[in-house]
Structure 1
Amino acid sequence: MSKKTNYSYIGIAFIILVFGIIFIPKIVDRISNSDISRQESRSDQPKEKELKKSDLVFIPNNGVNRKVPNFSFTNQYGKTITNKDFEGKVYVIEFFFTTCPTICPRMNRNLIQIQNEFKDFDDFGVASFTINPDFDTPEILKAYASKYGVTNPNWHLMTGNKEAIYKLSNEGFYIYAAANDDVEGGFEHSGNFALIDKNGFIRCRVVNGNPIIYYNGITSESEKTDEDGKLEEISALKEDIKKLLNE
């Protein structure tokens, strides 16, 4: 073998050595970084899910978190609406009646304000159940909705079987409702709102270590406090709706 040939092999070996020194560490480094990125990406997923959970609590009852009971009623357009129509939505629940001369107008003005604040959210709604279904027909409810400015397609004002509505109110939500000829308007009921998450669970904030469970729906933000000096809770409700929408 000639010296020239030896020099050629030496030259090729030298080139391979230089290539290895310069480029192989870079390739290894890129692969390593890619692996780290993938691992970090996978490890971040649970963290992202955790970050989406709000601080709003569930309401336990006999060891089970309270959920909206099954219901089926007729809305202001004559359409049957069930709890399944609200799946995947954050919504507020109220019990009212259209001829209510006292707290209902205040409650529904507050709900209109909330509706308008969340007008750009397709996954927000309101469920309003009349406690006077004998009078509050779909036609009456439709006129009432128009009067107050209900525009959210997910706001259903519902009527139906009286016993089923009262059972839903008093036993399903523990939100008091009853007929009473001795009170103005002929019915008495709670002015509270219940807040429901996208999975149908009742949720609320914790104040001074205790869940508030419901939100005062009567006192407006502008009023600040009620006649007993209790702070309004509409602003808190708005904040908590936002939290659930982001979950």
Structure 2
Amino acid sequence: MSKKANYSYVGVGFIILVFGIIFVPKIIDRLKHNNTVENDRLNIKTEEERATKSDLAYLEINGSPKKVPEFNFVNQDGDTISNQDYLGKVYVVEFFFTTCPTICPRMNRNLVEIQNEFTQFDNFGVASFTITPEIDTPEVLKAYALKYGITNPNWHLMTGEEDKIYELANVGFNIYVGKDDSVEAGFEHSGNFALIDKEGYIRSRKDDFGNPKIFYSGIISEAEKVDDEGMKEEISMLKEDIAKLLKE
């Protein structure tokens, strides 16, 4: 190999060395700076999200927050409604039936009162599932909605296959419903409401021991304050917590 060729290789090597000394640290610094900026942006976003989160707890199952299970039923207008239709909305869940002679009328009068409290919010709703779907057709549910003054377009009274509704109640929400010939009307069910956030998670405030309440009693009205057995109403509590979730 000629001396000239050796000089050429030496020259190229020298240029590469100079480039590395001058520019590589700048490139690394820029990459680090960009990563820092991006990390800062992510941190700011996370802090903003934390700032808008309320103090309401998540119901956790095996360490994971519980989401509303998938459902797909027909409402009072004959439209098919699923859990996806409620995403982005804060809503209350109940199980009822239109011929219920005991707690259902009280529950739905309380829900109408809540409905009227949040008329200015188009992202608030109610999901009412009938436990007597063979009786509660869309037409029957429509008449029931008119009777009780249900006007919120996000309040869907839903009917469908009985076994799926019962599974949704007892397994999906842990809100008891069942058939019992020994009670009036032949059915019994919980008078509790579940509160769902915009992302589809079950939320509630905590009790005196720091545990999620999970449900809100829907039977006693805010005006009554307490029932004959001394149980306090929780409608005012539910209103407060709906307002918190709407701000998230």
Question: Normalized against structure 1, the TM-score is what?
Answer: 0.81
1:50 is aligned to 50
Alignment of 1:167-246 (within 5 A): 167-208=167-208, 209-246=210-247
Q: Give the Cα separation in 2 of the matches to 1:153 and 1:104.
A: 21
Q: Give the Cα separation in 2 of the matches to 1:155 and 1:190.
A: 20
Q: What's the CA shift string for 1:217-237, capped at 9, x where partnerless?
A: 000001101232121100000
- Mark the structure with the bigger radius of gyration: 1
1:75 is aligned to 75
> Which SS does the other structure have where 1:207 is aligned?
coil
- Please tell me the residue identity of whatever aligns with 1:127: A
Q: Give the Cα separation in 1 of the matches to 2:158 and 2:64.
A: 27
- Please tell me the residue identity of whatever aligns with 2:233: E
> Which SS does the other structure have where 1:49 is aligned?
helix
- Please tell me the residue identity of whatever aligns with 1:174: N
Q: Give the Cα separation in 2 of the matches to 1:46 and 1:96.
A: 40
Q: Give the Cα separation in 2 of the matches to 1:193 and 1:220.
A: 13
2:24 is aligned to none
Q: What's the CA shift string for 1:173-215, capped at 9, x where partnerless?
A: 0000011121111110000000000000000001202211000
1:137 is aligned to 137
> Which SS does the other structure have where 2:184 is aligned?
coil
Alpha carbon RMSD of aligned pairs, Å? Answer: 1.5
- State which drifts further: 107-116 or 204-213: 204-213
Question: Normalized against structure 2, the TM-score is what?
Answer: 0.81
> Which SS does the other structure have where 1:203 is aligned?
strand
The sequence identity of aligned pairs, in percent, is 65
1:26 is aligned to none
Q: What's the CA shift string for 1:42-94, capped at 9, x where partnerless?
A: 67654433221000000111122111000000000011000000010000000
- State which drifts further: 207-216 or 81-90: 207-216
Give ranges in structure 1 of 5+ residues lacking alignment.
Answer: 1-40
Give ranges in structure 2 of 5+ residues lacking alignment.
Answer: 1-39
> Which SS does the other structure have where 2:233 is aligned?
coil
2:36 is aligned to none
